Structure formats: C-alpha cells, structure tokens
Amino acid sequence: MSAQVQSKRAQLKEAKLAATAERLEGQSLPAGGKWASAARADALSRLRAMGLPGRRDEYWKYTRPDTLTQAEAPAAAVFANDEAPVFGEIDRVKIVFVDGVFSAEESDALDLAGVEIERLTDAGGKDIHWAKDIYGVLEARGQDPVERPLAAYNTAFASDGVVIRVTGKAEKPVSLIYRHESESSDAVLHHVIKLEEGADLTLLENGPAAARFNKVLEVELADGAAFHHVRAQGRDHERRAVTHIFARLGREATFKSFTLTVNGKLTRNECVIEFTGDEAVAHVAGACLGDGDFVHDDTVFITHDAEDCESRQVFKKVLRNGATGVFQGKILVKPGAQRTDGYQKSQSLLLDDDSQFLAKPELEIYADDVACSHGSTSGAIDEEALFYLRSRGVPSPEATDLLTLAFLAEAVEEVEDARLAEEITGRLEGWLTRRRD
C-alpha cells in the first residue's frame, strides 16, 4: 500500500470517527444497570473506536447503512390487516414488545418449566447474574475479523429485551412478538439466551417492532444443547431493521435458525456463528419475498474452530418490481478444524429485469481435510416448466406462484417442526396470492 493511500485511509477513518462522535453526542446510556452498565460502556468504547458504518465500508458495499445510522428513525406507516396472527395457532409463551417496550399486560406469565425468563432491565440491575458472561461478550467476539458497529451500538443502547436461561427441554416455544404502533418509533432490543447442557428451546419471533428496529440476539449453547429459531419479520412496507444473531456452540450442540421476510424497505440480518466444540451442527436459512421498494441483506459469518462440525446456509430470495437482494456469506475454517462440512447456497428468483441480486459467497479454509461447497445463482422462472403447467390448465399467475413456492421450498424445509413449516408456507402462499397479476 502506498503512503498516499494509507494517509487517505487514515483521513477517512478519522472523519468517520468524528461523525460517529457527533452522532452519539448527547445520547446517554440507559441507566439503572450494574454489570450491564459496564458492558454498555465497553460497547460504547468499541463503537467509538470503529465508527458507525458508512457507504465506503466494504461490508456495506451493497446495502446503504445511512437510514440505519442516522439520528432519527425514518417514519414508517403501521401496516394494518385482519389476517390471523403469525404463529397464532401454536401453543407458546408470548412475550410482547410494543414499539420496543416490554408490555406485561399483553404478555403471558413468564412461566415455563426448565426455562428462566427475565426482563433485561431487571437482570441488568442485579449484582451477580449469569447473563453477565454473555451480554455483549458474544457480540464483542463477533467484531473480529469483521466489524459490526451497529451490534455494538445495540449493546450500548438497548433499552429492553429478555434474558432466558434454559436448563431442560422447554415444553413449548417462547414467542417474542414485536408490535409496531407509532409511525416514528425506534426500537433497540437485546436478548440473551443461555442453553445449559442438553437443554432444548424453540424461539419464535415475529412482527415489525418499530419504524426502525435494531436487535441483537446472543445465544450460548452448552454441550448437547439444541436451539430452534423461527422468525417472521413484519410486513410493514416502510419499516427498517438491522438484526444480529451471535451464537457460540459447544460440543454436539444444534443450532437452527430460519427467517421469513416479506416487505420492509430495508432489512439487514447478520448471523455470526462460532463452533467451539466438536460435532456440532448449525443451519441458517432464509426465504424472502420482495416487491418494489425492498432491500434485503443476509450477511452470515460462520467460524469453524472445532472438528467434525456441520454448517449449512440456505437462502432463497424472490424479487420483483425493482426489489434488491443481497447475500454475503462466509465460511471460515480455522487450522485444525478437520472434517468440517460446510455448505452454502444462496439463490434468487428474479421475476423481472428490474430486480437485482448481489451475492458475495466466500470460503476461507486453513484445514486440509474439509468438505466445503457454495453455490450462488440468480435466474428467472423456468419457461419450460411454466408452459408444462399451463398446458395442463393451470393459469399463468397460479403456475408462476407454484414454481415460486417450489423455489423457496428448500429454505422452508430447514424448519424442522412441521406445524411451523406449514405456517411459513401458508404465509408465503398468502403473500403470492394477494399479488397475483
């Protein structure tokens, strides 16, 4: 690197840090925490040293971060509909947040055998708490080798959230419901989940949360623990969201996460997974449907630092009327992570010429006995298949929907629970049917 380039970079970084300092001026950390206050202060220092993301950042090359970092949340109309609520038929423990604030009134009693649930604000005020070893800790680990400043921002400023410790097999899912009521709400939530050895939990999340939503979920899985995560992001057209999942897996742990996204002006979902124990499994999948003013970004970073682990990424995007899909997925296999099985698939179905898919799949491997593969494609509806269906009497819009669902099926199949998978498929069908030509 020439001295000139170096000096230019230093200048840019300096400007970025100055802009970040200005942006954060006058914004104070939430009060009332004991160990949490220390974690927040640490996160704020991390953030000040990194600076908020800008267009020039390589990691934000495809998605503009400005509306996520600016002081005010851009307004977003509340999406009203009279459809059956997502996961409404599932027996679960409901925890409701309205514009990013926990609502005891609307939530169920936080009572579930083998599961301890507390509000972050309560846990943070205690002298000693298990969550201390996770809150902001996994996030901080996830800052290397790629910086994720909006996650550090979250750790510093999160105003609410839940901490959940699971000691056994939870008999029903915990369901986080994010309601959006105010057009200009700006929600910052941070959840921490700890699964003890052999514990098993299904976590559901749904709803838009706010006009702008910044959420971090940190999940620590002890040996043999299993975590199932199914999320349906809210349908409000103008909402924006940046979410991070940081997961650390012990030996023989299982982590499975699926996200459905329809609508939303901007969504960036980051998922950072670290294998620390052998023979663990992590699957991350997503299906998204975007129509028009829609940007959806899946950014995944999986670090294999143990032997015989399996990671699988399956992301499918259906885009039309100028919608944009982004995929940045990386598998890092560290020295000694032998017999790693890494699979990554990201595909888009472009329903017209105006839509675009930007993909950056990456493999970085430092072990010699591994099987890693990745495939990224974008294409249109298969004309042969469409004609075949039409020749049997299926009208063109219906046939297109059938093929679209078929395209998404591989991602939805990652949802293990049949009822939840059915729920997701039903939502996809509903969205497609409402938009038939």
Partner 1 sequence: MLEIKGLKVKLEEEDKQILKGVDLTVEAGKVHAIMGPNGSGKSTLSYVLSGRDGYEVTGGSATLDGEDLLELEPEERAALGLFLAFQYPVEIPGVGNMTFLRTAVNAQRKARGQEEMSATEFLKVIREKAKTLKIDADMLKRPVNVGFSGGEKKRNEILQMAMLEPKMCILDETDSGLDVDAMKLVADGVNALRDAGRGFLVITHYQRLLDHIKPDVVHIMADGRIVKTGGPELALEVENNGYADILAEVAA
CB of residue 409 to partner 1, shortest distance in Å: 4
CB of residue 90 to partner 1, shortest distance in Å: 24
Of the candidates 419, 424, 416, the residue with the CA atom closest to the CA atom of residue 90: 419
Tell me the number of residues near partner 1 by CB under 8 A.
23
- Between CA 286 and CA 297 the distance in angstroms is 11
Q: Which of 12, 78, 101, 409 contacts partner 1 by CB under 8 A?
A: 409
CB of residue 392 to partner 1, shortest distance in Å: 4
CB of residue 290 to partner 1, shortest distance in Å: 20
- Of 160 and 429, nearer to partner 1 (C-beta) is 429
CB of residue 399 to partner 1, shortest distance in Å: 8
User: Site residues for partner 1, window 189-248 (CB under 8 A)?
Assistant: none
105 binds partner 1 (CB under 8 A): no
- Of 101 and 386, nearer to partner 1 (C-beta) is 386
CB of residue 256 to partner 1, shortest distance in Å: 21
- Between CA 235 and CA 233 the distance in angstroms is 7
CA 353 to chain CA mean position, Å: 28
CB of residue 376 to partner 1, shortest distance in Å: 18
- Between CA 229 and CA 263 the distance in angstroms is 20
- Between CA 310 and CA 276 the distance in angstroms is 12
407 binds partner 1 (CB under 8 A): yes
Per CB under 8 A, the segment of 47-55, 265-273, 294-302, 403-411 that binds partner 1 is 403-411
3-state helix, strand, coil in the chain (%, to 5): 25, 40, 35
**How many CB atoms lie under 10 A from the CB of residue 153?**
27
CB of residue 421 to partner 1, shortest distance in Å: 14
- Of 116 and 410, nearer to partner 1 (C-beta) is 410
Q: Which of 405, 416, 417, 429 contacts partner 1 by CB under 8 A?
A: 405
Q: Which residues contact 212 (CB under 8 A, 6 or more apart)?
A: 67, 68, 73, 74, 76, 185, 186, 187, 239, 240, 241
Q: At what angle do helices 396-412 and 383-391 cross, to 10 degrees?
A: 120
421 binds partner 1 (CB under 8 A): no
Q: Which of 57, 183, 278, 410 contacts partner 1 by CB under 8 A?
A: 410
- Of 140 and 403, nearer to partner 1 (C-beta) is 403
SS3 139: helix
- Of 155 and 400, nearer to partner 1 (C-beta) is 400
Q: From start to end of 263-397, where are the E strands?
A: 266-275, 281-291, 295-304, 310-320, 324-333, 341-350, 356-365, 371-379
- Of 395 and 426, nearer to partner 1 (C-beta) is 395
SS3 84: coil
- Of 272 and 399, nearer to partner 1 (C-beta) is 399
- Of 370 and 394, nearer to partner 1 (C-beta) is 394
Question: Using only C-alpha atoms, what is the Rg of the chain?
Answer: 21
Per CB under 8 A, the segment of 34-42, 178-186, 338-346, 406-414 that binds partner 1 is 406-414
User: Site residues for partner 1, window 320-359 (CB under 8 A)?
Assistant: none
Strands laid side by side in the 101-103 sheet: 101-103, 93-98, 174-179, 200-207, 226-233, 254-262, 281-291, 310-320, 341-350, 371-379
User: Site residues for partner 1, window 363-402 (CB under 8 A)?
Assistant: 382-385, 387-396, 398-399, 402
- Between CA 326 and CA 357 the distance in angstroms is 6
CB of residue 313 to partner 1, shortest distance in Å: 19
Mode of pairing for the β-strands spanning 226-233 and 200-207: parallel
Q: Which residues contact 247 (CB under 8 A, 6 or more apart)?
A: 138, 218, 219, 220, 221, 227, 255, 271, 272, 273, 274, 282
Q: Which of 406, 419, 422, 433 contacts partner 1 by CB under 8 A?
A: 406
- Of 26 and 393, nearer to partner 1 (C-beta) is 393
CB of residue 227 to partner 1, shortest distance in Å: 27
Residue 353 DSSP label: T
Is residue 204 within 8 Å of residue 92, measured between CB atoms?
yes
User: Residue numbers of the site for partner 1 (CB under 8 A)?
Assistant: 382-385, 387-396, 398-399, 402-403, 405-407, 409-410
